[in-house]
Amino acid sequence: MNTFSEENYLKAIFRLSQMPDNKKISTSAIAEALGNNPASVVDMIRKLTDKQLIEYDKKKGVKLTPQGQKDAIQIVRKHRLWEVFLLEKLEYRWDEIHDIAEELEHIKYHDLADRLEKFLGFPEYDPHGDPIPKANGKMAKSFSASLADGKVGGSYRVAAVRDTSSEFLKYLHKLQINIGTQIKIIEQIAFDHSLIISIDNGEATTVSSKFGENILIS
Amino acid sequence: MNTFSEENYLKAIFRLSQMPDNKKISTSAIAEALGNNPASVVDMIRKLTDKQLIEYDKKKGVKLTPQGQKDAIQIVRKHRLWEVFLLEKLEYRWDEIHDIAEELEHIKYHDLADRLEKFLGFPEYDPHGDPIPKANGKMAKSFSASLADGKVGGSYRVAAVRDTSSEFLKYLHKLQINIGTQIKIIEQIAFDHSLIISIDNGEATTVSSKFGENILIS
DNA sequence: TTATAAAATTAGGTTTGCCTAATTTTATAA
DNA sequence: TTATAAAATTAGGCAAACCTAATTTTATAA
Ligand SMILES: [Mn+2]
Ligand SMILES: [Mn+2]
Ligand SMILES: [Mn+2]
Ligand SMILES: [Mn+2]
């Protein structure tokens, strides 16, 4: 069984390995992701390598072994299921659930994820639009096209958010954007790629390119 | 904020202070309750004393301060609410829920216990018959009379169990005894205080005095 | 190619929460 | 009262998971 900390490392490595950019997973990238010092990451890389959960090659960076991948997916599964619980059953807000799930995901008990999944009615996606892995580890592909990739004049459904920070989610809340919201791109500013959009056919609003990159569409 | 370990100590001290026997709470009693070494308990007594959560007097033993009491009750509250969730919503068995709640009780987030309580419909008792503290810290008195205190010929309702170990609960399950079950004392054996009982008017069964002491009646 | 910057690693520390073994204090019983 | 047993404490250590500071390796740019 893995410790809380080991699980957080596995999850971070998994998340990095899912990135579309396909960059190698470096010591510093992991440190950055977890807010830890690179020296600490070196310690943990050694530990997880010994446990055969990752492989490390200074050229290719860190890679999850099949077992590491399996373990990581089970944590992601629990994280996302708990998020659904917190939003739907306990009525927490969109921007609050992530932090709580960050702790709940580490609770280990036979069948816990499966029972939770059943209780929640086998949800396919978590409240941020991320797919929930099944018990067998299979999971739907994440949404990858962002609003920033959309065409001017096009109208898109918000399928997921890339950034799940509470700052971003609070901003979305303020703009009344949720999963399922329809966004039309009215104009793109050539200068800095800002977008002028209409939210659910409302009045024109301007958002940054960074904003657009963090909205995933279907 | 208190660590997991500090919380477990506070809870153990609280539990010991609730005992009807009114014995002083000694280093060794705490060690016993937590399965730790007395030397470790001495360390933690120092730490909790520094944090002003307990007071220690070698004569009178350990006592929770008002703040320590408050903190302990909030953990008990979460523990018991999570137990209700696990039994009622996730359909875990009586004997499985305690261990999971032992971990869930440490999850900290604004309002978590209150929201859980609301979601569960403000339950008064946990699945073992223990009263659930309210948000303000108030809680009903625990049941204290045991079946062993009952009269021959008397019929009693099982209100709670004193021992919540999975061994005891599995035994109860086998005997088909639950909270609410009616037990009639047919005879008490003078030799060792064994009890001959009838469960929900079923056929006579013999149980030990230790068994009788761990069934609380209302 | 060489200087510089960035990334990775090593060396050595800290805190938390445990432990064992030895010692001291306190209780109990002859 | 004194011997013995039990309880509490001290001393010293260990593993986990971090850290800072120093050093080494690798990448990049002039
Ligand atoms: Mn986590
Ligand atoms: Mn999520
Ligand atoms: Mn606990
Ligand atoms: Mn209980």
Q: Convert the pLDDT of each residue in B94-137 to its tens digit.
A: 999 999 999 999 999 999 999 999 999 999 999 999 999 999 99
Regions of chain A where pLDDT drops below 50: none
pLDDT digits (tens, 9 = 90+) for B70-98: 999 999 999 999 999 999 999 999 999 99
Pairing of strands B155-161, A155-161: unpaired
Nearest Cα of chain B lies from the Cα of A42 at a distance, in angstroms, of 26
Task: Using the structure block, give the residue that is written with the tokens 């068995």.
Answer: B93
- Strand D closer than 7 Å to the CB of A35? yes
Distance between CA atoms of residues A204 and A185, nearest Å: 9
Q: Where are the domains of chain A?
A: 4-64, 147-217
Q: State the pLDDT at residue B22.
A: 87
Task: Using the structure block, give the residue that is written with the tokens 């995901």.
Answer: A105
Q: How large is the average pLDDT for residues B46-55?
A: 98
CATH 3.10.105.10 fits A4-64, yes or no: no
Distance between CA atoms of residues B211 and B183, nearest Å: 13
- Is it the case that residue B36 has pLDDT exceeding 90? yes
Distance between CA atoms of residues A14 and B56, nearest Å: 48
Using CB atoms, which residue from A90, A92, A119 is nearest to B90?
A119
Q: Which ligand is nearest to the CA of B94?
A: 4
pTM of this structure: 0.95
Q: State the pLDDT at residue B21.
A: 85
Distance between CA atoms of residues A198 and A153, nearest Å: 10
Q: Spell out which residues of chain A touch residue B119, defining contact as CB-CB under 8 Å.
A: 89-90
Q: To the nearest whole number, what is the mean pLDDT of chain B?
A: 96
Using CB atoms, which residue from A91, A109, A119 is nearest to B100?
A109
Q: State the pLDDT at residue A61.
A: 96
Estimate to the nearest angstrom the gap between the alpha carbon of B36 and the chain centroid: 19
Task: Using the structure block, give the residue that is written with the tokens 């999944």.
Answer: A117
Chosen CATH of A147-217 out of 3.20.20.70, 3.30.1490.100, 2.30.30.90, 3.50.50.60: 2.30.30.90
Closest CA to A208 of A148, A158, A156: A148
- Give the pLDDT band of residue B28 (cuts 50, 70, 90): very high
Partners of B185 in beta bridges:
B197
Q: Measuring from the CA of residue A58 to each C1', which nucleotide is nearest?
A: C8
